[in-house]
Amino acid sequence: MSVSQIKTNELRHNQIQDQDYHWRFWANVPIYPYSKRRTLRREVLPDTIWTFDQLQGIFYVVVPIRMTVVRLERGGLLVYAPVAPTRECIRLVQELVDRYGAIKYIILPTISGLEHKYFVGPFARQFPDATVYVAPKQWSFPLDLPLSWLGFPAQRTKVLPADSSQTPFAEEFDYAILGEIDLRLGQFEEVALLHRRSQTLLVTDSIIAISDRPPEIIEQDLFPLLFHARESGSERITDTPENRLKGWQRICLFSLYFRSSVLDIPSLSKIVAAAWRSPYKSAQAYWGLFPFQWKANWLDSFEKLRRDGRLLVAPILQTLILNRAPQETLQWADTIASWNFNRIIPCHFSAPIYATPEEFRQAFSFLESNKQQDLPEADLKTLKTIDALLYKPGIVPPPQPKTGRKIQT
């Protein structure tokens, strides 16, 4: 085979791959990786549970977004929190359909998570026999539109009833609905779903755990890790195991704190000067701009955030959302802690997480007046400043006092 034929075959192969990853509605929510989304399928429990990871982020602060598929005992599949139905994703799902039966139910477990909501309509159209169940009291911004106008199939979209026993999948699943928490700009709500047979809890945003190494889906696209591993915009982007890890640790601090106490923003003149010296002046590297300067103790902040991989309620939820309804949140957590599970699959960060109901409940103790804050106050300062800027002028409701209730075990 000639060199030209080899190059032609490589080009054709790359074009096919690009088509497999292509997500054509990316402009609706224009976040990284835009129109090119890879999918990673993992079998969590043989012949029973699979996760489908993709990537999402802003300014290369990328984290996994995850769909979970569960095999039903009587045949068929249930899908929790769909991801972008690219050609690759649908092919991976179809392999399960061919083996275990059709998708019967698609669950949208949130009312505020746009990064979850806008995939549901396109995903449901790929499986026209599936019934779509959505969390109650859906809303959209800036106009509150009917779900059918947002791409949901009108004839087969239903609202999850308050009583989980009223659903056709009640023999295998239970669920508890947190919400809706009024934020004036909208509401927050989450549906936690328990698969009894496998003792697996599915959650959306409420609980996470941070891995000690970059998730596999992020290592499919190394540029974000290596971009954030640098100390300045003039430093070369170099792929080493140490830089991959450093980039992941800093991405965690960015995504969960916005700006932690160990991050400084250099002056504009320093940012521009570093960009001028940068060997990477492409659009991909933001023309060398790198407005970050990490303090020497930044790794200590990461370790306090990770807490050896224990369950964590994201700082953004702690400071901006759940503190608006501490009593309701703890009641929801108590309900879930009464269930029998040993595995948790969230829609972001690590999965699966092996944890007990007691550990799940303990993660919400920040809402109790007799418990100290686990996260450093200095790292929460930016989030609390944002909180005050929102509630003091009345844009959002103020935080509510912590409750005196004790952990239910």
pLDDT digits (tens, 9 = 90+) for 55-89: 999 999 999 999 999 999 999 999 999 999 999 99
User: Which two tokens mark 115?
Assistant: 């990064």
Give the pLDDT of residue 325: 95
| Residues 300 and 325 placed together within one structural domain of the fold | no
Residue-range definition of the domain harbouring residue 254: 221-307
Domain count along the chain = 2
For residue 19, what are the contacts with CB-CB under 8 A and spacing of at least 6? 87
Choosing from 307, 341, 371, the residue where a domain stops is 307
Per-residue model confidence as pLDDT tens digits over 100-137: 999 999 999 999 867 888 899 999 999 999 999 999 98
257 and 198 belong to one structural domain? no
What is the Cα–Cα distance from 99 to 65, expressed in whole angstroms? 25
Q: What is the pTM of this model?
A: 0.92
**pLDDT (0 to 100) of residue 151:** 83
**What confidence score (pLDDT) does residue 29 get?**
87
Q: For residue range 230-266, what is the model confidence (pLDDT) as tens digits?
A: 998 888 899 999 999 999 999 999 999 999 999 999 8
Give the separation between CA 349 and CA 361, rounded to whole angstroms: 19
User: Which helix (DSSP H) or strand (DSSP E) does residue 50 occupy?
Assistant: strand 49-58
Q: Are residues 231 and 188 in the same domain?
A: no
Residue 2, domain member (yes or no): no
Q: Positive or negative, the Cα torsion across 231, 236, 241, 245?
A: positive
Same domain, 182 and 284: no
Residue 368 lies in a domain: no
The answer on 256 and 177 residing in a single domain is no
**Does one domain contain both 128 and 25?**
yes
**381 HSE (CA, 13 A, CB side):** 8
Domain assignment present for 375: no
Q: What share of the chain is helix, strand, coil (3-state, %, to 5)?
A: 40, 20, 40
User: Mean pLDDT of residues grouped by 10 in the chain (409 residues)?
Assistant: 45 61 90 95 98 95 97 97 97 98 97 85 96 91 75 92 95 94 88 98 97 95 95 90 97 96 92 87 90 95 95 96 95 97 97 97 93 89 94 92 67
Same domain for 356 and 280: no
Regarding whether 300 and 327 lie in a shared domain, the answer is: no
Same domain, 299 and 344: no
Q: Tokens 């700082």: give the residue.
A: 315
Within a domain: 409: no
Say whether both 238 and 341 belong to one domain: no
Residues 274 and 357 in one domain: no
Residues 334 and 357 in one domain: yes
pLDDT at 149: 79
